[in-house]
């Protein structure tokens, strides 16, 4: 799974990886998350592989970041440093060593507040990179497990240079009994989580680019 985020509404849902797609040639405004849909006509891919085509819970969105592509890519792939710029991510542990590549795996956690359906818990997510192309795309998959909750996620990220910086597009699908029991709520939470991830990535990348020595 890719981008799980927590929101204290009804069932303990998440937010993880990816949805986005070919949303036209015009870049989204540099300050906004834009052009999103829960049922894209054409899904994002990385090396020919995309999200789960049969998943009921899906979303894609994108943002333009005013920073160099290398800066954006480094922030996204240096997963052990995610907690420094993503508040919902509590811990991250790489399960392999060396460059971030196909087969790389990482285990990360995010809290879930209590709600009428479930007690406070923590989601434990194990993500494995299935496809990757440097400075271009990533696709990872894996389960998110909490008390009384299991979500299988597929998350795709695309990165492309555009006027004004880098367009980051993301699309994610979730499957599992709990999320499929309330697809509208699960989709809403996925959308909110993906958009928050992109805003955090934008803030971190632009701050780093702005503070870089000349």
Q: Convert the pLDDT of each residue in 15-38 to its tens digit.
A: 333 222 222 223 334 445 764 566
% helix, strand, coil for the chain, step of 5: 20, 35, 40
Continuous segment of H or E residues that includes residue 205: helix 183-211
Q: Provide the total of helices (H) and of strands (E) in the chain, helices listed first.
A: 3, 8
Give pLDDT, residue 118: 60
Q: Which residues of the chain have pLDDT under 70?
A: 1-32, 34-41, 115-119, 212-214
What tokens were used for 117? 């359906």
């Amino acid at each position: 799974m890719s981008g799980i985020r927590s929101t204290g509404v009804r069932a303990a849902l998440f937010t993880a990886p990816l949805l986005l797609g070919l949303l036209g040639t015009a870049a989204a405004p540099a300050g906004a998350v834009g052009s999103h849909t829960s049922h894209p006509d054409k899904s994002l891919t990385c090396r020919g592989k995309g999200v789960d085509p049969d998943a009921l819970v899906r979303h894609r969105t994108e943002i333009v970041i005013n920073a160099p592509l290398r800066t954006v890519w480094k922030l996204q792939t240096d997963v052990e440093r995610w907690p420094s710029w993503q508040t919902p991510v509590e811990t991250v542990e790489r399960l392999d060593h060396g460059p971030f590549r196909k087969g790389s795996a990482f285990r990360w956690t995010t809290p879930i507040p209590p709600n009428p359906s479930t007690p406070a818990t923590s989601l434990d997510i194990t993500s494995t990179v299935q496809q990757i192309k440097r400075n271009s795309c990533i696709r990872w998959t894996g389960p998110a497990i909490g008390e009384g909750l299991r979500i299988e996620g597929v998350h795709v990220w695309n990165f492309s240079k555009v006027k004004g910086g880098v367009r980051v597009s993301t699309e994610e699908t979730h499957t599992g009994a709990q999320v499929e029991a309330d697809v509208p709520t699960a989709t809403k939470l996925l959308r909110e989580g993906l958009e928050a991830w992109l805003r955090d990535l934008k803030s971190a990348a632009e701050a780093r680019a702005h503070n870089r020595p000349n």
